[in-house]
Amino acid sequence: MNQNLAFADYAVFIIYFIVVSVYGYTVYRKRKQDEQDAKAYFLAEGNLTWWAIGASLIASNISAEQFIGMSGEGFFLGIAVAAYEWLAAVALIIVAVWFIPVYLKNKIYTMPQFLKTRYNESTALIMAVFWLFLYVFVNLTSILYLGAVAINGLAGGEYLHVIMIGLAVFALFISLGGMKVVAYTDVIQVAVLIIGGLVTSYIALTTVGQYFGVGENAIAGFKVLMREAPEHFKMIIPKPTATSSQLEIDKYLTFPGLMSYLAGIWIINLNYWGCNQYITQRALGADLQTARTGILFAGMLKLLMPLIVMLPGIAAFVLYENGHLPQLVGGKDGAYSAVLTFLPTGLKGLSVAALTAAIVASLAGKVNSISTIYTLDIHKKYIQKEAGEKQQVNIGRIAVFAAMLLAVLFTWNDILGIGGVGGFTYIQKYTGFISPGVFAMFFLGMFWKRTTGTAAIVGVILGFVLSVLFNEYAPALFGNETLLYTAYPNGKGAFEIPFHICMGLSFFFTMLAMIGISFAGPKVNPKAFEIDAEMFKVKPQTTVLIVITLLIIVALYVKFW
């Protein structure tokens, strides 16, 4: 079996590159006037259809950390990791119905602008700087590193830096055209991503069927997976007991059963989908109904994602456990690349194109958000207040180039140590520490008129401090068994509290502190948003989409509980 790519694979990949590039340039030429309109350039204001919004949300969300990281978690945990995707669909319903109307009614274009409008300029500036550092040194770097490593492995293992530069240049080519080019090229990226991902899953299942003597049949292969790894098809990871193995404890630390649903997973999803410039930017330039439909369309696409990014990992586990996957290297994060080696010539190129589409779309979306925040919330306000529309567009392009250059420099020799901890863990660790405070600040700011600016600043700082406390120091300071948590041995000589539970505790105490501080202020904060019931009413077609999504999720949980 040849792991390297053949001529036909390169041909398929080059065709993909040409199609996306030509389409992106065509969109750019049609909207060349956006260079005279900063909001059109950064937000594609009024120009995106619902399907472009939905596709762009998914393309920006699904990247190397999903293909590589979530497939690896499928190898390790099984279908339980699908909760990230399926509950994201529920979170998107909440965002579409309740969050987006608040943003659009108050003409919010960036998340720092939300904080300035609702709280004060200090809060907005602090978070703008923080988000820039987070996007550049956590998200961009990890996506670029994981993607380059994965594709390099398939290309023979000798082209890491060439691939890294190629991914960066491809993303730059798309992102320099502005939000409209990013969003509409994302439609092609999502099509390639879904088709290529489904092909990989299909080949993985038929390969399982072949090795286990039930024929090259995907359904038969899936039944083999359920037979050979029944524990990988349970949504709820059981709580460890005194007789549990370290492997069982490690799984619970990663995804603590029912406690995940009572704590961290909602904070992760609602913060990511509702309070994140990188995501909300796609909908902030549209009217309410278009934005809602696009977000709900993305939610329905999320239901498909475990089939694409998680199922190959379970297939890899079953093949590996039975001695049929000797090419697996690098532990669980090598599962997806190992499965790709089963693809025939040509289809392997399609799957590499799908992986590249996911990486490039995420990189382009991320640097567009970086340039938007930097240009509109920092440069225009504090450095060059008189900058005109065209100047702002040019500044945004410089920011795009600078951010990508920094990402390449820091991933060139993996200065940040992403490879040591794993890309998925790297992203979860550093974004998860801030999520409780940020989400508390946004949630109370939207829906409780009494929330003050002082409470917001305290909330962000306290949420971070509490996250560090519970994740790193609580077991040593307060013991392994308290009324609030149970810490478990992590196999490295220490005890840990499951990450999701840490997030839930941090969020709970941050909310209490913010509410207490806000009670010292006026009953209605002068900067509170005006909210009325009419904002949250949905049209019948929107209700239908919501009901269909929820019914599918219920059916999935009934099947795999």
Chain segment 305-324, per-residue pLDDT in tens: 898 889 999 999 999 999 88
pLDDT in tens, 362-386: 788 788 888 888 888 888 888 888 7
* pLDDT score at 444: 95
Q: Identify the residue whose tokens are 């040849």.
A: 2
Report the predicted TM-score, pTM, of the whole model to 2 decimal places.
0.84
Res 1 pLDDT > 50: no
What is the secondary structure of 52-95 as a DSSP string? HHHHHHHHHH-SHIIIIIIHHHHHHT-GGGGHHHHHHHHHHHHI
Mean pLDDT, rounded, for 325-354? 78
Domains in the chain with CATH codes:
7-241+281-424+542-560 (1.20.1730.10)
Res 97 pLDDT > 50: yes
* pLDDT score at 106: 87
Nearest-angstrom CA–CA distance, 503 and 260 = 10
Q: CA nearest 224: which of 239, 213, 238? A: 213
Q: State residue 434 phi and psi, 5-degree precision.
A: -100, -20
Mean pLDDT, rounded, for 284-299? 90
pLDDT in tens, 465-501: 999 999 889 999 999 999 999 999 988 889 999 989 9
Res 392 pLDDT > 80: yes
Q: State residue 437 phi and psi, 5-degree precision.
A: -70, -40
Q: How many residues does the structure list for the chain? A: 561
Other beta carbons less than 10 A from residue 47's beta carbon? 19
Q: Residue 127 carries which side chain, given as an amino acid letter? A: M
* pLDDT score at 2: 43
The listed range with the strongest mean pLDDT (169-173, 274-278, 352-356, 551-555) is 551-555
Nearest-angstrom CA–CA distance, 28 and 109 = 21
Q: Identify the residue whose tokens are 């690098």.
A: 330
**Which residues lie across from 481 on neighbouring strands?**
486
Angle at 324 between CA 323 and CA 325, to 5 degrees: 100
* pLDDT score at 220: 94
Q: CA nearest 406: which of 101, 168, 99, 124? A: 168
Percent of all residues in the chain with a pLDDT value above 90, rounded to a whole number: 36
Mean pLDDT, rounded, for 550-557? 95
Helices 179-211 and 218-228: crossing angle in degrees, nearest 10, is: 70
Is the CB of residue 282 less than 8 Å from the CB of residue 528? no
pLDDT in tens, 243-273: 999 989 988 988 898 898 987 889 989 998 9
* pLDDT score at 39: 57
288 alpha-carbon distance from chain centroid? 23
pLDDT in tens, 134-179: 888 888 888 888 788 777 777 767 778 898 898 888 888 777 666 5
Res 197 pLDDT > 80: yes
CA distances from 498 to 78, 241, 255, 540 (A): 18, 15, 7, 41
CA distances from 545 to 293, 299, 525 (A): 8, 9, 36
* pLDDT score at 379: 87
Q: What is the dihedral of CA 388, 393, 395, 396, to 10 degrees?
A: 140
The two counts, helices (H) then strands (E), for the chain are 30, 2
**Residue 170 structure tokens:** 């491809």
Nearest-angstrom CA–CA distance, 363 and 380 = 24
**pLDDT tier for residue 507 given thresholds of 50, 70 and 90:** very high
What is the secondary structure of 220-265 as a DSSP string? HHHHHHHHH-GGGG-SSPPPP-TT--HHHHHHHHHS-HHHHHHTHH
What is the secondary structure of 272-312 as a DSSP string? HHHS-HHHHTTTTTS-HHHHHHHHHHHHHHHTTHHHHHTHH
